[in-house]
A = this chain, B = another copy of it.
Amino acid sequence: MKAAGIIVEYNPFHNGHLYHLQKTKEITGADVVVAVMSGNFIQRGEPAIVNKWARTKMALLNGVDVVFELPFAYACNSAEVFAYGAISILNSLGVNWVVFGSEAGDISLLKKIAMHLAFEEDEFKKYLKIYLKEGHSFPKARELALKRVSKEDIEFLPNNILGVEYIKWILRTNSKIEPLTIKRVGSLYNDPNLGSGSFCSATAIRQNINNLELIRDKMPPFSYQVLMEEIESGRGPVSLNDFFEFFLYRAIVYKDFLKEQFDVKEGLENRFYKHIFSSSSLEDLLSKVKTKRYTLTRLQRILIHCLVDSKVNQKTLLSTKPYIRVLGFNSRGKRYLNSIKEKVKYITKLDSYIMKNPEYNSLLELEIRASQIHALKYKEYHKYLQLEFKQHPIYIPSRE
C-alpha cells in the first residue's frame, strides 16, 4: 500500500487540519494516510488540552487511517529533535511521502534551504554563534544565519522551520520519502485570533476554550464532539498553568531541581532560583526568567522536562531510534498495519514484557511518567494513572 505520512499535534483537530489531510490524499493519491502525533505534551512546551487518546479519536473520525505516537522526549523538544523523531518513525514505516503545511508553500525553496542546513551545518552554526553574540534572539539569529548560508529570502515562520527540518532529516538519513508541502490557509500557527472565517490556529482555539460556541465553527463536528466529551468528563482542558503547583513543590523539595535537566545551562538556573518563590503565576515567573536566548517556548519545554524529571539529552535522542507505537487505526489502517507487520516491529499495547525491552524502555518510561502527570489534572485523576497500560489502540471501523 502506498502511504502518505503526516506529522501532527491536533491540539485540537480543527478545519485547517482537515484541509491538510484532504489535500494530502488529493496530491499523493496514497492508499493510506499515516499520522505521527505528539502525545500528552506538545512541541511548544505545553500540555495537550486533551489527551492523546481523545486526539487519536479526532484524527480517525476525520479520516486519518493510522496514528502513531511521537514519544514525549521528541515531541516536547526543539524543531530539530521533533523533526528527527517524526522522520525516523516515518522512515521505519517506509512511507512514500511526507506532506506538511508551510507558510511558504514552495517545496523547492524549502529543499534548497534544507540542503544548506543538512550539509553545511558547521558554517550555519558559525553564523548562528556570531548573530547570537551580537545580541539577537535565538529565532532571529537562526533566521539570519540560514539566510546568510542559503542566500535565500524566506520568512522563518514556525511551519517553514519545521518543514526545513523534516527535509534536512530526510536528506541526512538518505531517506526515500518524498517531501511535499501545502500552503497553509487561514491564520498563522500561533495567531491567537479566532477571526471570522472557518480557519484559525489551534492556539486561538485553546485560548477560547472557555467559550465553546465561538470555537464550534472552527472545528469539524466530530472533533468538536470529542473535545466536548473530554471536557464534560473532566479530562480537560489541561493547561500549563495547572502545573505551577507541582513545579513549586519540586522546587521546595529539591533546591537544585534544575540541575542536569534538559537544555538548562548555567545562569538560567540562577534566574529561576531567584524568582521562583516570589512570582504570582507561571506566566509571571517565565516573564522574569526569559531572555533573548531563552524564548518562552524553550523555557516552557524546560519546565515540562523538569516536571517529568526527564534528564534527556538532545544528542542522545538524535542517535536513538524511537519506538513505533500504534495509538489507533480504522479498517484501512488495520490492513496497512497487517501489510507492514513482517518488517516493522510496532507496539500495540504496553505490558511488562515490552517495558523490560532495553530498546524501548527509557523512552517508554518517560512517556508513561508524562502521561501520569498530565492525568493528575483530570477531575478523577486516580482513574487514569494506569491508562497507558490499560488502553488498547483506538479502533474505528471506516465508513467505506
Contacts and interface: CB of A to CB of B under 8 A. Distances in A.
Interface of A: 245-246, 248-250, 252-254, 277-281, 307-309, 369, 372-373, 376, 381-383, 385-386
B277 A385 contact: yes
A382 B253 contact: no
Interface centre among A281, A376, A381 (most CB of B within 10 A): A376
Contacts of A277: 372, 382, 385-386
Contacts of A281: 382
A250 B385 CA distance: 13
B386 A278 contact: yes
12 contacts: A245-B246, A246-B246, A246-B249, A248-B372, A248-B385, A252-B373, A253-B308, A253-B369, A254-B309, A277-B382, A278-B386, A281-B382
A360 B359 CA distance: 48
A250 B307 CA distance: 10
A266 B85 CA distance: 41
A245 B376 contact: yes
Closest 9 CB pairs of A and B: A277-B385, A252-B372, A253-B309, A280-B382, A277-B386, A246-B249, A252-B369, A245-B376, A252-B373
Q: How many chain copies does the complex carry?
A: 2
Contacts of A253: 250, 307-309, 369, 373
Nearest to A383: B280
A278 B248 CA distance: 26
Contact of A382 (B249, B254, B279, B309): B279
Given A249-B373, A253-B307, 5 more contacts: A246-B249, A248-B372, A250-B253, A277-B382, A278-B382
A153 B313 CA distance: 66
Contacts of A372: 248, 252, 277
Nearest to A377: B245
A271 B157 CA distance: 52
Contact of A248 (B248, B309, B376): B376
A383 B284 CA distance: 13
Contacts of A382: 248, 277-281
Contacts of A386: 277-278
B381 A248 contact: yes
Given A278-B386, A280-B382, A382-B279, A249 B308 contact: no
A232 B369 CA distance: 37
Nearest to A255: B365
A174 B278 CA distance: 46
A250 B249 CA distance: 9
Contacts of A249: 246, 249, 373, 376
Nearest to A244: B382
A308 B381 CA distance: 22
A144 to B, nearest CB: 38
A179 to B, nearest CB: 38
Contacts of A250: 253
A307 B372 CA distance: 18
